[in-house]
Structure 1
Amino acid sequence: MSELDPEDAKIITLARSTRARAGSAEGAAVRDETGRTYAAATVELPSLRLTALQVAVAMAVSSGAESLEAAAVVTEDDAPDVAAVRDLAAKAPVLVAGLDGTVRTVLTD
């Protein structure tokens, strides 16, 4: 994969650090239409289970975001659920990275 845009590298770094800090299975970050970023980790409670991407999108929406420019998820999963991202941005790239931050794929739909 070619060199990442600095803003995309930033959301991968945020996703990695959030995952590590929380000690969770996944970390994610999204960038909204104004350039603001939101980072989150997986939530696993007895009554609530959310992927890191779902939490990051919810944080963006609750802060007033109307669309997303990009998203990143750090996970061991080869096919993460990107439905929450698609609710706000049908074609925004979702960078799927391994635990070391290496981008494995970019989902665009």
Structure 2
Amino acid sequence: MNPEDSKIITLARAARARNGSAEGAAVRDETGRTYAATDVALTALKLSAVQVAAAMAISSGATSLEAAALVSEGAPSPDDEAVAAELGVGELLVAGPDGTLRG
């Protein structure tokens, strides 16, 4: 794994741990800026960590993503994979809570 991908996995792990959330995600946009987020589980709003991180990037002016990472005990949802693909990410990086990349 390249150092930049390792960095977004670390950011996703830190966000997840800091908030005690089920998921943490981080994305890197076309200019190299990174955004980290956790899932949102409100009564009126439910978003995955990947969706929140991607929305943060897009709302900050990003037009595409170079990479996206999800840290979770579970697998990414089809929606997470679709968001990553729509923004130009070939493969969503998925790691367990310990940071071990799953393929």
TM-score calculated relative to the size of structure 1: 0.88
Distance (whole Å) between structure 2 residues aligned to residue 27 and residue 82 of structure 1 = 15
**Structural mapping, 1:10-89, within 5 Å:** 10-80=7-77, 81-89=80-88
Distance (whole Å) between structure 2 residues aligned to residue 45 and residue 86 of structure 1 = 26
1:102 maps onto 2:91 in alignment: no
Distance (whole Å) between structure 2 residues aligned to residue 19 and residue 11 of structure 1 = 12
1:7 maps onto 2:25 in alignment: no
Distance (whole Å) between structure 2 residues aligned to residue 75 and residue 94 of structure 1 = 12
Aligned residue pair count: 101
Report runs of 4+ in structure 1 exceeding 2 Å deviation: 78-81
Gap runs ≥5 in structure 2: none
Per-residue CA deviations over 1:9-31 (Å, capped at 9, x if unaligned) read 00000000000001110000000
Q: Secondary structure at the match of 2:97?
A: coil
Q: Which has the higher helix share?
A: 2
CA RMSD of aligned residues (A): 1.1
Gap runs ≥5 in structure 1: none
TM-score calculated relative to the size of structure 2: 0.93
